Structures are given as structure tokens and as C-alpha cells.
Structure 1
């Protein structure tokens, strides 16, 4: 299973989710794709992800922005490989200015962010990742929402693609979709450790 967790105020209709879904469809692998609409509650989001993944023989989680924060929690808890796309590192800080009703980016509607949601985010935090080979970070220096330097500092030793420029949405994501799927396809070794997809970091654009 490839489990995609979208970002704050986003949806399964987000740009990167659509690119991934289309590529998997081209490969005849749509049955592996799972991209739910996430609830506003972080605790409920994690519970939903875990319920969807229950019984799957192999799970890779892809998280964008706030979804990357959840993906990191799940990777540490369950040993899942994780792809992180401009992930949030301290969302309880970043989202403190968004308390109250907030419009969704896609399809209309809104969510209501309450103070206890920030507490839930804080409780899900991962102070330091273990086994960095489990992670593939794609970060953009031009991210206008989150600081890519925080991302790099939080995932030392992880497979990393640092895009020069770009934006929070990673508008060039179609150029990286095959890299993402190649990482997802890396098989765990018998002892449960990931076979390294690649060593070190590479610069992009």
C-alpha cells in the first residue's frame, strides 16, 4: 500500500496526490493507492491512517506538509518507509495563527481548528528520527510556507533531494514522481531494515 497524507486544508484532490495517482494508474497499480480525506484532529488522522493500513503486507507512507509530520510519527511507530514532501516540522507553532474556521483549498467547505488540536500535534512529535534510511525527503529552498532548513536539520542522513527554488506545492513534482515510486518499491530486508534506495543527498535544479 502507498498511503498518501495530504497537508493542512488540502484534500485527495491536491496536485501531488493527483500526479501520483495518475502515474500509478499508468503502471496498472491503482490498487496500491490510498489517499483519504483527513480529519482536522491529528489524533483522528493517525487513527484513520492506521485503520486503512491494517492488514497490508507492506506500507509506504507519503506525507505532504502537515501530512509529512503525521508520516514521520507513523514511520517511527510502525517502521514504515516514509516519503516527506516539504514536511512540517513544528506544526503546533506554525498553525497557531490558524485557530478558528479555515476554508479548504479544494471543493469548498471549511474546517475548525481548536486549541486542543495544537496539543494533539505536540503529542505526536518525533524529537529525533531513528533509522534515517527509512526516509526520503524532498525539500524546496523556495518553499514560501515552511523553512527547508528545518526540514534538513530534522532528517539528518535521510535520502534527500533539495530542489533549488520551486515552492511549497513543489510545482515540478512530476519530475520526481518516478524517484518517489522507486523509493516506495524498495523492499525491506529480512530483519526489517530497509534496503537503501540510494546513499546521500542530491541537488535538483
Structure 2
């Protein structure tokens, strides 16, 4: 079944203004105007983020919905795919954010708006642990785009997290996957819109 509803989940300190979110929104508007697009601004609390995602997609058809997530958004996308069985694309996904984000407890600035601040609380680590999922029930419905040159996350750990999924491992690259529009967008959209 074609994708009718598409969710984009941004990463830690990011926002719907991220380059990848804007590129995908433009592609959807240009070539898939009937596709329902949603890119929410995720709160810093993982529990609240999961609640927002769950409530916002509650009436979406599981067989027609898909999710794309980058970094921490990839962790949330994996959680949603495990819950619903929907198609998912994760881009340099956070595999163990409870471990990795423990170093970021305290005041943070938003990447796209340095004037915007938020506080990453210690209890958010437990909230991340509560969202961890085991092996995906339908790994073939997930594609992972992973850059070996990611300066934030280990590409080997990301690759090992998704056995049975379609892996697109990129030589070089960076955590933001700066060449997303020119090198990866078409493949991502093709995976999300199977013929």
C-alpha cells in the first residue's frame, strides 16, 4: 500500500527547521501533494515527545503511514516502527541515547535558534530507557542511512542495530548527512513509496 501519511522526527537540539526536514517537506509538497505531512517540534522530555508522536498518529492507518527520523529522531522512529509496524527510514540514528545524552544534562541551546534554550533534565535519561525497543518485528520495513564519517555516533553501532533492514552505509559523510538532498533523498522517497 502506498504511503498516505508521513511523519518527520528531528534530532536532539534540532527542530522542524533542520535542512533535512525542510528538504523533505519541499519534496512532499512538490511531488506528493496528497501525502499528509507532519513534522512536529519535539519537546525535550522523551516521555512527552513519545506522547505527542503517539497522539498525533493515533488515527493514522498503520499500513499507510511512514516515519523518517534523524539522530534522536531516528531512535523515536524506531520506537514508533516497533509499535505500529509502519515503514521507517532512520538517518544516523541514535542507538543508545540514554548513554550518549547523559553528558548533556543541563541547559542547552537550540541548533537553529541560539536564542532558544531548554533544560535537559536528569529524569529524561530514565524516560529514554523506557522507550528502548528490542529487535524490530518487521526489520524489512526499515531503511537506515548511516554515514561512516559521523562525528557524533559510531557507524558500526548504528549498522549492528538494524539486522535484516535495508542499510545504506555511506563512505565519509557527517552526522547531519549534509548531502542528503543530492545523494539520498530519492532513495529515501523510493523506499517510503514502494511501487
- Give TM-score, length-normalised by structure 1: 0.87
- What is the correspondence of 1:1-205 to structure 2 with a 5 Å cutoff? 1-29=5-33, 31-57=35-61, 58-107=64-113, 108-174=115-181, 175-186=183-194
CA gap of 1:53–1:181, structure 2 versus 1, over 3 A, is same
Q: CA deviation at 1:106?
A: 1.0
Tell me, in whole angstroms, the C-alpha distance in 2 between the residues paired with 1:121 and 1:88. 11
Tell me, in whole angstroms, the C-alpha distance in 2 between the residues paired with 1:151 and 1:129. 14
| Count of residues in correspondence between the two structures | 187
SS of residue in 2 equivalent to 1:176:
helix
Tell me, in whole angstroms, the C-alpha distance in 1 between the residues paired with 2:52 and 2:138. 25
Moved more, 82-91 or 99-108: 99-108
Does the CA contact (< 8 Å) of 1:65 and 1:88 recur in 2? yes
Structure with larger RCO (C-alpha < 8 A, sep 6+)? 2
Tell me, in whole angstroms, the C-alpha distance in 2 between the residues paired with 1:131 and 1:28. 25
CA gap of 1:31–1:129, structure 2 versus 1, over 3 A, is closer
Q: CA deviation at 1:177?
A: 0.9
SS of residue in 1 equivalent to 2:135:
coil
Q: CA deviation at 1:28?
A: 4.4
SS of residue in 2 equivalent to 1:88:
coil
SS of residue in 2 equivalent to 1:51:
helix
Tell me, in whole angstroms, the C-alpha distance in 2 between the residues paired with 1:106 and 1:18. 12
- Give TM-score, length-normalised by structure 2: 0.92
> Considering only aligned residues, what root-mean-square deviation do their CA atoms show, in Å?
1.3
Does the CA contact (< 8 Å) of 1:129 and 1:154 recur in 2? no
